[in-house]
A and B are shown apart, each in its own frame.
Chain A
Amino acid sequence: MSVNATPAGADVAADGTETGGGRQAAVPAQRTRRRGKVPLSENKRAERKLGLLLCAPAALVMLAVTAYPILYSVWLSLQRYDLRFPAEREFIGLQNYVTVLTNEFWWTAFGVTMLITVVTVAVELVLGMGLALIMHRTLVGRGIVRTSALIPYGIVTVVAAFSWRYAWTPGTGYLANLFSDGAPLTERASSLAIIMLAEIWKTTPFMALLLMAGLALVPEDLLKAASTDGATAWQRFTKVMLPVMKPAILVALLFRTLDAFRVFDNIYVLTAGANETSSVSMIAYNNLIRGLNLGIGSTMSVLIFITVAIIAFIFVKLFGTAAPGSDDGERR
């Protein structure tokens, strides 16, 4: 690499001679900047300007639609604000938070959401790993397996939820007739089980795809060597594959955990939150759209945001340097 070339104008020279991609070409540029004294070349300044210009629209949209509303939501959560009684709107400090946090419906929903998150992510990790291994290593019909595994990923969640609902409706459904004589969607435990089943069916392929990206990184030679040394299939999996796949597993777990925490569509269609099966998203929605209570709805929004931030923070602590994003040309 021509990284050691003289700094001033070296970027131009390196750009001209190097065959490598953007990563190498950018190294001299950074050196130039770090020295500080060398003025930026015309080219460099144009590049910076173009870079900022190209990113600005995406950055502006993302910030305008998330950062501003979440701050606005904090402001709304400090007010008594019910759209049915707009005249009573006033600033009430943290009173909404006291109302929500002392409300048993909130905590029930919180518990339900946590339960669904933990159970579905755990099951999906196991099933997803199996599916990833099948998609990656199967000797026959790889295309068919991958294609059919993508269908749950692509299908509209509401459609899948209706399919499960009718499957478990007594009389109409093939599953209801097979497995139970009651109406499973009218009891709490069985409703929750069906919601989890629907979630797992829908999102296992996504988990498997993320894990498959990790599987592709396991060197084939290493597996062969382990096999020659007499390692069993299980040992090869735990001692060779899992350590290499650790970053991929953590990424998959993070994304699926946060995604599972948002569960809404399946519950809306399957039970509409009946029999204490509401998730936090479900009751936040109900307070807003059905109850038209913006103050309480916003308070729940803020609380959900904080919970997700805490979960993400814990995961990022676990990640260390393996955090996604550190790969995107940021490792120079």
Chain B
Amino acid sequence: MADTTTRAKVRWGLLDVAVVVFALTPVLWIMSLSFKTPATLTDGKFIPREWTLENYRTIFATDQFVRALVNSIGIALIATVIAVVLGAMAAYAISRLDFPGKRVLIGVSLLIAMFPQVSLVSPLFEIERQLGLFDTWPGLILPYITFALPLAIYTLSAFFKQIPWDLEKAAKMDGATQGQAFRRVIAPLAAPGLFTTAILVFIFCWNDFLFAISLTSTERSRTVPVALSFFTGASQFEDPTGAICAAAVVITVPIILFVLFFQRRIVSGLTSGAVKG
């Protein structure tokens, strides 16, 4: 008996190793490239023979990258905050209140979750040019909020359904209005759900490339993924490979940290909204 469990453990262990190797190889590879010296960059070795931080020094010395990093952080944070606030309001109404049009709202969110984003690129390009939003932060924040909202609404309504609502009733009996019950009692209880949703939304905004490359044209609002694709051929880099890899690692680090610290929350957030019974 003990023998079979050991064997089973070994078998599962081997499968685990396969998954970890599959998932981490490309990440380790780009890290390795970012630490290579220009001379050894093209040696094709997975582990650098000579280590250097030169690539990182180069990118942080250029406006091109630093500006893009500021844009990326600012745009993703603002979009996340707005999407989570609007999403929380809607999710609270969906999970708690009875009102006409609820079904329509759920249907619309589902449609937007499936919407082909490239279909919006042409019209948004023209509309934003006319409104003066093209190549500005709000010009990117708006579409990000829109496509993050379905995700936020679904995840948050799943979380909100697990909250003990009796407390809200108790608060209301003590004379609180529905609005007060929401702010004082439910919002603190919902904080973990809000946080998880914020991480998922942030990852979505942080990752976007299509809107970022179509709706920006200068360093004013270009985000890092777009700046990366423009490193190629920029005159200040002789060979942009090392710089691209260093910049890529810099924008990957926050994601890896999120995943390391909040794995459990991210998994529950992603699975809760998906299927229920």
A residues touching B (Cβ–Cβ < 8 Å)? Answer: 15-16, 19, 21-22, 26, 29-30, 44, 46-52, 54-55, 57-59, 61-63, 65-66, 68-70, 72-73, 76, 131, 134, 137-141, 143-160, 162-164, 166-167, 171-174, 176-177, 201, 205-206, 209-210, 212-214, 216-217, 247-248, 251-252, 254-255, 258, 261-262, 264-265, 268-269, 280-281, 284-285, 288-289, 294, 297-298, 300-302, 304-305, 307-308, 312, 323-325, 327-330
Instruction: Give chain B interface residues in 79-109, CB to chain A under 8 Å.
Output: 86-87, 89-90, 92-103, 105-109
Distance (whole angstroms) from the CB of B63 to the closest CB of chain A: 20
Q: Are B126 and A76 in contact (CB under 8 A)?
A: yes
Kindly state the separation between the CA atoms of A251 and B9 in the bound complex, as whole angstroms: 32
Question: What is the minimal beta-carbon distance from A8 to any residue of chain B, in angstroms?
Answer: 16
State the CA gap A169–B196 with chains docked (Å): 38
Of the candidates A62, A201, A327, which one forms a contact with B108 in the assembled complex, judged by CB atoms under 8 Å apart?
A62
Question: Chain B contact residues (Cβ within 8 angstroms of A): what range?
Answer: 35 or more
B53 to chain A: which residues have CB within 8 Å?
none
Contact among B15, B27, B207, B209 for A138, CB-based, below 8 A: B15
Give the residue of A16, A52, A145, A248 whose beta carbon is less than 8 angstroms from that of B275.
A248
Decide: A72 and B20 in contact? CB cutoff 8 A.
Answer: no
Whose C-beta in chain B lies nearest to the C-beta of A171?
B42
Q: Mark B207-226, 1 if CB is under 8 A from A, else 0.
A: 10110011000000000110
Task: Find chain B residues with CB under 8 A from A302 CB.
Answer: 119
A147 touches B42 (CB 8 A): no
Q: Is the CB of A48 within 8 A of B100?
A: yes
Give the residue among B5, B90, B260 with the most A Cβ atoms within 10 A: B90
Cα separation A32 to B247 with both chains bound (whole Å) = 60
6 interchain pairs (CB within 8 A)? A62-B109, A138-B12, A155-B256, A167-B26, A173-B44, A328-B94
Give the CA-CA distance A26 to B260 in the complex, in Å: 40
- Could you tell me the distance between the alpha carbons of A54 and B206 in the complex, rounded to whole angstroms? 27
Complex: how many Å from CA A155 to CA B24? 11
Q: How far, in whole Å, are A57 and B122 apart by their CA atoms in the complex?
A: 25
Known: A214-B275, A304-B116. A69 touches B123 (CB 8 A): yes
Query: Which of chain B's residues have a CB closer than 8 A to the CB of A213?
Result: 271-272, 274-275
Taking CB atoms, residues of chain A closer than 8 Å to B101 are 52, 55
Q: Is the CB of B276 within 8 A of A157?
A: no
Which of B54-62, B187-195, B262-270 is near enough to bind chain A? B262-270
- Residues on the A chain within 8 Å of B44, using CB: 171-174, 176-177
Q: Which residue of B lies closest to A209 (CB)?
A: B270
| A149-B19, A156-B207, A172-B44 given; A251·B119 CB < 8 A | no
Is the Cβ of A151 less than 8 Å from the Cβ of B99? no
Which B-chain residue is minimally distant from A47 (CB atoms)?
A: B97
Contact assessment for B116 and A58 in the assembled complex, using a CB-CB cutoff below 8 Å: no
Q: Are A69 and B124 in contact (CB under 8 A)?
A: yes
Mark each residue of chain B from 159 to 170: 1 if its CB lies under 8 Å from any CB of chain A, else 0: 001000110010
Question: Which residues from chain B contact A162 at a C-beta distance below 8 Å?
Answer: 30, 228, 244-245, 248
Q: Residues of B contacting A289 with CB < 8 Å?
A: 125, 213-214
Question: Could you say which residues of chain B place their CB within 8 Å of the CB of A54?
Answer: 89-90, 92-93, 97
Is there contact, CB below 8 Å, between A148 and B267? no
